[in-house]
Amino acid sequence: MNSLSVYQRLPILLQHAACSLAGGRIQYVRFGPAFQRALRDAEARTLWSLDRIQAYRDQQLRVLVDHCYRTVPFYRHRFDELRVRPEDITTFDDLDLLPTLTREEIQRCYPDIISRAVPQRQQVAASTSGSTGTGLRFVTTQAAVHSTWATWWRYRRWHGIELGTWCGHFGGRAVVPVSQAVPPFWRYNYPGRQILFSVYHMAPATLDAYVAELRRRRPPWLHGYPSALALLAAHMLDRRLELGYDVRWITTGAENLMPQQVTLLQRAFGVRPRQHYGMAESVANISECELGSLHVDEDYAAVEFIPNPDGPGHRIIGTSLTNLATPFLRYDVQDVAVLSNDGCPCGRPGRVVASLDGRAEDYVILKNGARLGRMYHVVAGLMNIREAQVYQRVPGEVVIRVVRGAGYGESDEAQLLDRVRHRVAGLAEVRVDYVDAVQRSRTGKLRFVVSDVPEGQLEYLC
What is the DSSP secondary-structure string of 127-167? EE-TTTT--EEEEEEHHHHHHHHHHHHHHHHHTT--TT--E
Domains of the chain: 31-155+278-357 (3.40.50.12780), 364-456 (3.30.300.30)
Cross-strand pairs, 307: 314
Q: How far apart are CA 133 and CA 126, in angstroms?
A: 16
pLDDT for position 304: 98
Amino acid of residue 362: D
Name the pTM for this structure: 0.81
Asked if the peptide bond before residue 184 counts as cis, ω within 30 degrees of 0, the response is yes
Residues recorded for the chain: 462
pLDDT for position 443: 45
Q: Kindly give, in sequence order, each residue whose CB lies less than 8 Å from that of residue 447, ignoring residues fewer than 6 positions away.
A: 360, 361, 362, 389, 441
Task: Tabulate helix, strand, coil % of the chain (nearest 5).
Answer: 35, 20, 40
Looking at residue 94, what DSSP letter applies? G
Judged by DSSP in three states, 200 sits in: helix
Q: Say if residues 386 and 434 touch (Cβ distance below 8 Å).
A: no
Which residue, 17, 8, 92, is CA-closest to 303? 92
pLDDT for position 79: 97
Can you give the pLDDT of all 462 residues of the chain as single tens digits?
677 788 988 999 999 999 999 999 999 989 988 999 999 999 999 999 999 999 999 999 999 999 999 999 999 999 999 999 999 999 999 999 999 999 889 989 999 999 999 999 999 998 775 554 456 889 999 999 999 999 999 999 999 999 999 999 998 788 998 789 899 999 999 999 999 999 888 888 899 999 999 999 999 999 998 878 988 998 899 899 999 999 999 999 887 787 778 888 999 999 999 999 998 899 999 999 999 999 999 999 999 999 987 677 899 999 999 999 999 999 998 888 999 988 899 999 999 999 887 655 678 888 888 887 667 667 766 768 877 888 999 999 999 998 887 788 999 999 999 888 887 877 889 999 998 877 755 544 457 788 888 887 766 655
Q: Is 239 left (phi over 0), alpha (psi -120 to 50) or beta?
A: alpha
pLDDT for position 169: 97
User: Environment class of residue 395 by beta-carbon count within 10 Å: exposed (0-12), middle (13-18) or buried (19+)?
Assistant: buried
Looking at residue 281, what DSSP letter applies? T
**C-alpha dist (Å) from residue 377 to 24, 202, 372, 422:** 22, 17, 12, 11
Asked if the peptide bond before residue 183 counts as cis, ω within 30 degrees of 0, the response is no
A 10 A CB-CB count for 417 gives: 15
Instruction: Kindly give the interhelix angle for 73-82 and 103-113, rounded to the nearest 10 degrees.
Output: 110
Q: Say if residues 283 and 320 touch (Cβ distance below 8 Å).
A: yes
Cross-strand pairs, 443: none
A 10 A CB-CB count for 102 gives: 14
